[in-house]
Amino acid sequence: MASADLSQLTAIIPASNRKKSIQRLVRSMRKSYPTLRILVADDSGEPLACKGADCFRLPTGVGRSAACNAMLARLRTPYFLMLDDRCEMTKETSIETLLELVRDDKLDVAAGDLIGSRRRFWFFVSRQPQPGHGTFELAGDQLTLHGGHRTVGEGYSWCDIVHNFYVARTDKVRNMGGWDPELVNDEREEFFVRGHRHGLRVGISPEVTALLWNEREPATSTEPAPNLKSLATAKMGLTRMTDLDGQVFKAPRRVMAA
């Protein structure tokens, strides 16, 4: 396998109230990829200084979608690496493998797999696969997500949706409009359904893995969180969506009527 040119790649990390997690992730990236440019967009409202990354602040609480769009606007490379701020890279995290799948025009989005990790009793760490990829089943105006993949390609498996650990083509994501800022932190299903309608080719390379630390979601407001997945269902032009966890969401009547 030829060595991938990482000068064509920028890592983007939407962050919120996870300073230690971001520092852990960036440190792990620098061990294997000392020259890779890393962008971090943080909406916590607190100063975030992270050695080894370009960090910038966003208005407090704007959410992951707005953070991703802000970084997308700053990209000057043809490809980007999306990372959850709870990730940590290991020796099994071969970004080159994902980049080459996209660069060689086999996929527009090439994802790796995540290993869920939880620290117990200070030293003991439990780890188990954290599947987040799946396929779409569309019947009229109802969408059902199924875990797994479709067919197997050369070095990857075709699917329709993946978790936030992937390399993607910058121009393809820009052409589909990026992420919907109204969906704040529940953007994934709508993003990939819209990508599917734009012909986005999505796949997963399961031998490429990273850790995903099980951490609490940061508290950003004392107000009740809106049902963003129901809003996403309406934005997709659907009346009902069943997600990968089997939860059912119905589009709000007022949104559908609008």
Q: How confident is the model at residue 86 (pLDDT cuts 50, 70, 90)?
A: very high
pLDDT at 248: 96
Token digits of residue 24: 């852990």
Alpha carbon distance 190, 161 (integer Å): 10
| Global pTM value | 0.90
Q: What share of the chain is helix, strand, coil (3-state, %, to 5)?
A: 25, 30, 40
Domain positions in the chain:
6-217+225-257
What fold does the segment set 6-217+225-257 form as a domain? Answer: Spore Coat Polysaccharide Biosynthesis Protein SpsA; Chain A (3.90.550)
pLDDT tens-digit series, residues 4-30 = 679 999 999 999 888 888 999 999 999
Alpha carbon distance 246, 234 (integer Å): 18
Contact call for residues 213 and 101 (beta carbons, < 8 A) = no
Q: Given a cut of 90, is residue 107 above it in pLDDT?
A: yes
The single-letter DSSP state of residue 249 is E
| Strand partners for 139 | 142
Mean pLDDT of the 192-220 span: 86
pLDDT at 131: 78
